[in-house]
Amino acid sequence: MSKNNASNDLRAELASLADTLEEVLNQGSSKSRTELSRLHQKAQDALQNSRDRLGDSGERIAQSTRDAAQKADSYVHDKPWHGVGLGAAIGLVVGILISRR
């Protein structure tokens, strides 16, 4: 799953949680004890579901980061001089940016 899809899933999950909590807050003052209990349970379920799904999204993002790091490590091991050149180029750019301050 791409970062964009994970980000969209995160936004959708947070929006769903916000809608559920808004419903609980808006309807809380005018409901009976039984209805309040039902709304409380609905809010708890939504929160738990969000936590579960957000944990899954975080794990997918972490896995894609680990995969990218592993590919970069393999590339540098396979082509060490390219890695040295890239490191030197990055160092040069950072040095130029720091010297301008």
Summarised one tens digit per residue, pLDDT across range 19-75 is 777 776 776 566 677 777 777 787 788 777 777 777 766 777 778 888 888 888 887
CB atoms within 10 A of CB 56: 14
Q: How crowded is residue 59: how many other Cβ atoms within 10 Å of its Cβ?
A: 11
Token output for 9: 């899933």
Closest among 19, 27, 6 to 46, alpha carbons compared = 19
Which is more confident, 91 or 58? 91
DSSP state, 29? G
Provide CB contacts within 8 A for 3, sequence distance 6+. 61, 64
Does residue 2 come out as left (phi exceeding 0), alpha (psi in the -120 to 50 range) or beta?
beta
